Amino acid sequence: MSVDGSTDPRFAAVGGRPGKIVAVHLSYRSRAAQRGRTPRSPSYFFKASSSVAATGGVVERPVGTELLAFEGEIALVIGAPARRVSLADAWNHVAAVTAANDLGLYDLRAADKGSNVRSKGGDGFTPLGPALIDARTVDPARLRVRTWVNGELAQDGSTDDLIFPLAQFVADLSQHATLETGDVILTGTPAGSSVIVPGDVVEVEVDALDTGASSGRLVTTVVAGPDVAFDPAVGSLPAADDAQRAEAWGSRESAGLPAAASALSDELRAKLERTPVAGLSQQLRKRGLNNVTIDGVAPLHPGAKLVGVAATLRFVPGREDLFTARGGGYNAQKRAFDAVAPGEVIVIEARGETGSGTLGDILAIRAHARGAAGIVTDGGVRDAAAVTAVGIPVYTAGAHPAVLGRKHVPWETGVAVACGGTTVEPGDILVGDGDGVIVIPPSLAEEVADAALAQEDEDAWVAAQVAAGEPVDGLFPMNAQWRTRYESERRS
């Protein structure tokens, strides 16, 4: 498979310098769940062949950086040129699989703006090998990749967790450019990628679960780079913020960061719990926001107040082939309920389709156990009596006994959704009572809550005057005379 006959030891594992190294951004469901987004189709970036390293080598962490991260991956080595090949034929163009470590510096991601040229293209940032597994002898759906850091298992993923099959990367890329003999495709990493520091030793191994064939362990040691800083006169400098630290480490907790600040403080939550949805709707209307109610849903617990921050889940219309591909296993629905944080409301886009359930009692129990504030779906609920008994506030368009696959395919989480005729973004504030559910932009929540509570006080005073026999004319709404009396009594 040698492309140029090179004897450079860096390329020994793959038989020569690769003409192209193409890497997949996001491909494992476990990793997508970590990131809170699931791609609809594969996306890619290029890595320089000069970044290839052999097993037993070192990778330098440059001066001024802190967020060097490992990513254990399955690498595909192209054996026969592929141009516009079909999905069925694509695997025939793969000669071998082996282990890869798609190393990257999160400190340089902002400068790259998605290209990964700086963050993933450094010398030694693509270790490959040490041995090839003949692609003809393995089932691509039965491969495993594991990563150890200092002897501790950090990643353990298999290709049955892939969002897209391995062959799809070959077929897809071949539609756009010829894949040539010796080219390498890095197929993405499962959950567990994290930060490594000088002195750490990373080992990656790929093996076939059916046959036991193995790539052997690909070993890389992290060392501190030479004391030569990036030159600000010629390019961008490294920069790390808490968002990059959380992504690099895998979570804010792993990065040693405090939990992300919520737009819903304890004080604001207490205000909203006292405020009727009708009052909030009135105040939002005064500010030009009319389309903020989730229509067509009713509470399973009419006396319970719902207050929380939106975490979103989107279903698309049922289609048998898509449900086969996306509906089983650790799908978007399960990931949403497993990941919901305390105080969040799971908001489900079901297009108003009530012909099947969008959750049942098991998922309601999971959300309740996670501390979720509630669930809102413009679709149906299965096991409605059991869901009600769980005790978590649930708003639904109705009950239905059918399972999810009859009408819906669980598609993605963490995106803007359309629920009950309005748009809900992750982080929006939801308030629900017997009148329904309203969506409040976080930037307006404090102002709207204060105004609504003030209006409630005023309305209560007016109601007391009417109950005492006063006519509503001039009192509701108050004219200047009644306003003066109200303000005087309020001050006293």
- Is 375 annotated to bind ligand? no
- Is 72 annotated to bind ligand? no
- Is 362 annotated to bind ligand? yes
**Domain 291-440 belongs to what topology?**
Glucose Oxidase; domain 1 (3.50.30)
Return the DSSP state at 413: E
Nearest to 12 by CA among 101, 135, 127: 127
Tens of pLDDT, residue by residue over 343-391, are: 999 999 999 999 999 999 999 999 999 999 999 999 999 999 999 999 9
- Is 109 annotated to bind ligand? no
CA 384 to CA 362: how far, in whole Å? 11
CA 122 to CA 411: how far, in whole Å? 35
- Is 363 annotated to bind ligand? yes
Which sequence spans correspond to the domains of the chain? 9-249, 291-440, 454-491
- Is 256 annotated to bind ligand? no
The pair of three-digit structure tokens given for residue 18, joined into one six-digit string = 């690769």
**Residue 5 pLDDT more than 50?**
no
Of 310-319, 407-416, 470-479, least confident by mean pLDDT is 470-479
pLDDT at position 331 is: 86
DSSP, collapsed to helix, strand or coil, labels residue 98 as strand
Secondary structure (DSSP) of 224-291: EPPS----TTTSPPP---HHHHHHHHSSTTTTTPPPPPPS--HHHHHHHHHS-HHHHHHHHHHTT---
Of 4-8, 168-172, 369-373, least confident by mean pLDDT is 4-8
What is the separation of C-alpha 279 from the centre of its chain, rounded to a whole number of angstroms?
34
- 159 and 143 Cβ atoms separated by less than 8 Å: yes
pLDDT at position 252 is: 78
Nearest to 294 by CA among 379, 425, 419: 419
Q: H or E stretch including 315? A: strand 306-317
pLDDT at position 184 is: 98
Secondary structure (DSSP) of 287-303: TT----EETT-EESSTT
Mean pLDDT of 424-430: 93
**Domain 9-249 belongs to what topology?**
Fumarylacetoacetate hydrolase; domain 2 (3.90.850)
Of 86-95, 130-139, 243-252, 376-385, least confident by mean pLDDT is 243-252
